[in-house]
Chain A
Amino acid sequence: MSINGRAYIAGIFEHPTRKADDKSLAQLHAEVAKGALEDAGLGKQDVDGYFCAGDAPGLGPLSMVDYLGLKVRHVDATDTGGSSYILHVGHAAEAIAAGKCRVALITLAGRPRAMGQATGTQPRNLGMATPDAAFEFPYGPTTANMYAMVAMRHMHEFGTTSEQLAWIKVAASHHAQWNPHAMLKEVVTVEEVVNSPMIADPLHRLDCCVISDGGGAIIVTHPDVAKSLKRPRVKIRGAGEALKHQMGGRIDLTYSGAAWSGPVAFAEAGVKPADIKYASIYDSFTITVLMQIEDLGFCEKGKGGRFVADGNLISGVGKLPFNTDGGGLCNNHPSNRGGLTKVLEAVRQLRGEAHPKVQVKSCDLAVAHGTGGQLGSRHGSATVILERE
């Protein structure tokens, strides 16, 4: 069974907050759910499927369905880190195609900034029962250094430079200047990126995404529901998911799970990377973008550095406009999970509702791709292909 054309994205909402001192985590989930339903023109009573991941408080859907006052006949709390919500779009389409629900709500929210979390440089211990914990936690793996090792190896194998990686941040900042909600609205230069403080060799501070509060929600519906609504219709054409890990000690940092999830999504959609007009690419770090662009097939493996340089990711300038909201590098990264917001900007582009300064002309086909967990050890990858109808 293919999901191609079997479900639509009918509503989206991005929380405007970037620091939520005055709100609870559950409240943020409710506010984004309400916003996305209003965007779609649907009501709470229409929701019969609910999707959330590890950012949801309490016992995931049990706590949230209760708090939101939903009555659902399908739930899915698959957690693959920041890629979860892109994966949820695919799962929601599957559930709708199988008749398990008709209106699916996906929510994400977080307030790491209000909580003062040192997100990128603190080793995270998921508990000593985690099978890898005793063999990794003593060595101080953090988000920053585990992604940095991928960048270091890429530089070694392919001659990629810090200046090339910096272009990814530069492109994001060119887009963020038009987003009134973006945390970092100032346009930066390659020199500013490579001269910013070193966090984890070879990643500088400006190679890293922001730490922000906020959240977002997505409404995925049956085609009949989408066609009854007044909003521009965004069809789900294909989805792919993959988990890449250490493979028993045969570690290869030169590719990501996008090399597996991407081809599945493109095949289901029946399109090629060259057909894509806009790409939302998870940007926890500049290296994350570079790896995913190569692995999704936008350029040859190892040539990502040259591909992203000279403004090639800037809307109106380059061949592959990406993250026109400023992405995680400049706009927001709610709950340290950037997958959901990738879908939001792809939908805006397809609806023609991106900021006029960054709106891609005739944008009829887009990809949203995410990486969750650690690029350098084990991560989830999710790809969706979306089309304006």
Chain B
Amino acid sequence: MMAIAQDRKIPAPEPNPETQAFWDAAARGQLLFKRCTACGELHYYPRAICPFCFSDKTEWTPASGKGKIYSYSVLRRGAPVPYAIAYVTLAEGVTMLTNIVDCDLDKIRIGQDVRLVFKPTDGGPPVAMFAPV
């Protein structure tokens, strides 16, 4: 049985002064995370103050867009269409919450290689999702 991922209405994220650059980059098709120049650690979701060392010397860093599925689940009841939520570990090492799209939902597997795609939202900037390579 095939369960091809269907488009769903995606709620718009609301940028704020701390995250505006992230969403501006998303609109250009680029996924950013944060790197702390004081301690060298990467983090996601992005913050102004490093959650590892509390330095304010954090800088935006572009992701390559390559990743692997750490875990996932297809919600099959209670939503207008089934969809796959997932944690994807980026090649750079941070793990982010996302959706797996453009695929057969029944064939998603942990450890699968995925690539970045952007999907439009309901009146806001696009959001980063991933499709199997």
| Residues of chain A at the chain B interface (Cβ within 8 Å) | 118, 120-123, 125, 128-129, 131-142, 144-146, 148-153, 156, 197-203, 205, 246-251, 253, 376-377
Contacts and interface: CB of A to CB of B under 8 A. Distances in A.
Interface string B63-82: 00000001111111111000
29 contacts: A128-B14, A133-B14, A138-B10, A138-B127, A139-B97, A140-B79, A140-B99, A144-B75, A145-B73, A145-B74, A149-B73, A151-B73, A153-B70, A197-B77, A198-B76, A199-B78, A200-B75, A200-B77, A205-B77, A246-B45, A248-B43, A248-B51, A249-B33, A249-B43, A249-B44, A249-B93, A253-B70, A253-B87, A377-B97
A365 B77 CA distance: 40
B99 A200 contact: no
A170 B131 CA distance: 38
Contact of B83 (A140, A156, A205): A140
Contact of B13 (A135, A148, A250, A253): A135
Nearest to B111: A156
Q: Nearest 7 A-B pairs (CB), nearest first?
A: A121-B78, A249-B94, A134-B13, A148-B73, A248-B43, A249-B44, A135-B45
Contact of B45 (A128, A131, A200): A131
A42 to B, nearest CB: 43
Contact of A248 (B13, B44, B74, B85): B44
Interface residues of B, number: 47
B11 A137 contact: yes
Contact of B71 (A120, A121, A198, A253): A253
B51 to A, nearest CB: 4
B87 A200 contact: no
Contacts of A197: 76-77
Contacts, number: 136
A251 B94 CA distance: 8
A249 B85 CA distance: 16
B55 interface: no
Query: Of residues B8, B79, B83, B129, which shows the largest number of chain A Cβ atoms within 10 Å of its Cβ?
Result: B79
Nearest to B89: A251
Nearest to A151: B73
Nearest to B8: A140
Nearest to A129: B16
Given A134-B45, A144-B73, A248-B42, 15 more contacts: A122-B78, A131-B47, A135-B44, A137-B11, A140-B83, A142-B75, A150-B71, A152-B71, A152-B73, A199-B77, A205-B77, A248-B94, A249-B93, A249-B94, A253-B87
A129 B12 CA distance: 14
A249 B50 CA distance: 12
Contacts of B74: 145, 200-201
Contacts of B44: 135, 248-249
Nearest to A254: B71
Contact of B79 (A121, A129, A156, A253): A121
Contact of A145 (B23, B41, B46, B75): B75
Nearest to B127: A138
B62 interface: no
Contacts of B129: 139
A249 B95 CA distance: 5
B94 A120 contact: no
Contacts of A144: 73, 75, 78
A76 B73 CA distance: 36
A156 B110 contact: yes
Contacts of B51: 247-248
Interface in B39-61: 41-47, 51-52
Contacts of B13: 128, 133-135, 137-138
Nearest to B33: A249
A189 B71 CA distance: 28
A146 B129 CA distance: 17
A205 B99 CA distance: 22
